[in-house]
Amino acid sequence: MQSNNSDPKPNDSVAGGEAAKSGAEAGAGGQAGRTVHEVIAALQAEGAEFKDKWLRAHAEMENIRKRAEKDKEDTAKYAISRLARDLVGVGDNFQRAIEAVPAGAADEDPALKSFIDGVTIIERELLNALERHGIRRMQPLNEPFNPHLHQAVMEIPRSNVASGTVVQVFQPGYMIEERVLRPAMVGVAKGGPKLPPVPEDGAPGSEVGEDSPS
């Protein structure tokens, strides 16, 4: 009987074995030229690279988390900045109403005295409410001028007062937490002895801008 043509021939088997052997030798050829120490060193370098990438990614994620927490904290602190700026203007009007009454006039008029007492109480309650939300008034009279807290609108000659001293407050300032909500508008003495400059590291946080969260 004639043999099946699909049976592998001896020459084909030998050729296949040689090809497989050549492929295995070629695959091992990349490692054949490296010693065990070189392979270990390469693996250690690769592990160190992966570790460095992981540490950098972890540090970046930690920074993102801290920034997010800081943004959230600032939002909570300064969200009422625009409302607070309007409210302190109301407080200014209460103060102007009190100061507009001539000295001694309230003592001569019981009705006027009652009115002024009422306005004073309302102003005090407003300031207390603002302080409960981290907002406090600045009245820097007789304090050294601080460009981080005050806005000088004029210089006033005073030879008996140190130059740079606040000698008149035209409008009180306000702080919200550690930031300036509104600088105090002041008149500053000139002509007297000089004061030491305000150190830069003593400056408070930046002024709350118009675009602060509301």
Sketch the domain layout of the chain as residue ranges. 135-196
The answer to whether the beta carbons of residues 151 and 172 sit under 8 Å apart is no
> How does pLDDT run across 192-210, given as a tens digit for each residue?
787 766 666 555 655 665 5
Separation of alpha carbons 209 and 205, rounded Å = 12
Q: pLDDT, tens digit, for every residue of 32-91?
A: 567 888 888 888 888 888 888 898 988 898 898 888 888 887 777 788 888 888 889 998
Report the predicted TM-score, pTM, of the whole model to 2 decimal places: 0.60
The pLDDT value recorded for residue 120 is: 93
Which comes out higher in pLDDT, residue 137 or 82? 137
- 201: which 2 tokens? 């590291």
Q: Which pLDDT value is given to residue 21?
A: 52
Strand order in the sheet with 179-182: 135-138, 173-176, 179-182
| Pairwise CA distance, residues 32 & 140, whole Å | 82
pLDDT at 32: 52
- The CATH number given to 135-196 is 2.30.22.10
Number of Cβ atoms within 10 Å of the Cβ of 136: 14
**Block residue for tokens 């709350």:** 208
| The pair of three-digit structure tokens given for residue 176, joined into one six-digit string | 């919200």
